[in-house]
Amino acid sequence: MHDLGQVRNVQKVLQRMGECVSSFINERKNIYYLNKEGRERIGATKVRKKSLMITHFLMRNDLYIFLGKPFSWKNEVKIKIPKTKVSIVADAIFNIDKEHDYFIEVDYKQSMHKNDSKIKRYRQLHEYNPNFMLIWVTTTHFRKVRLQSLCEDLNVQVYLWDDIK
């Protein structure tokens, strides 16, 4: 993504950034983030640290890259369903040509009951805005098939995380 070449070169770059980054291991992979010194050096104000949500964030980031890094991408957006008191917090949204809305959902160890509840709210939204696409990223073939079934009659695309990273 950053044209750094092979993995070994990326490791050298990260090693040289040592005083500005911290890391931890998640699922046998090193996860790097700016520490206090790194944030101060570049003027960043957002503090990122180890989180139980890291896999969720990584899945969402991989989908963002896979979809071509859409310019209008926004994370964690609350969508109000017209003429109701119902809302949905999408994991991310983006649009193309201001006409086609894309709603992103990440399914990592979420109960299917909660996914079904969220899909029902997307069905309500569909009554007012039938031109949106719902895009899911999930972890197993079983979950992919189940999400596709729950989203029947919606414009949906479901990806396996392994296929997009």
Beta carbons within 10 angstroms of residue 83's beta carbon:
9
Q: What is the pLDDT along the chain (165 residues), one digit of tens a residue?
A: 677 778 788 788 888 888 999 888 888 888 888 999 999 999 999 888 788 899 999 999 999 999 999 999 999 999 999 999 999 999 999 998 777 899 999 999 999 999 999 999 999 999 998 989 999 999 999 999 999 999 999 999 999 999 998
Which residue has tokens 């086609």? 100
C-alpha span between 161 and 84 (Å, rounded):
34
Question: What is the structure's pLDDT at 4?
Answer: 75
d(CA 135, CA 121): 15
Q: How do beta strands 21-26 and 74-80 pair?
A: unpaired
Region label for 109, one of left (φ > 0), alpha (ψ between -120 and 50) or beta (otherwise): left
What does 3-49 look like in DSSP terms, one character per residue? ---SHHHHHHHHHHTTTTEEEEEETTEEEEEE-HHHHHHHT------
* Cα separations in angstroms, 50 against 26, 34, 46, 152: 9, 11, 13, 36
pLDDT at 64: 97
Q: How far is residue 138's CA from residue 72's CA, in Å, rounded to a whole number?
A: 23
Domain 59-164, CATH number (from 3.30.70.20, 3.40.640.10, 2.60.40.10, 3.40.1350.10): 3.40.1350.10
Domain boundaries, the chain: 7-50, 59-164
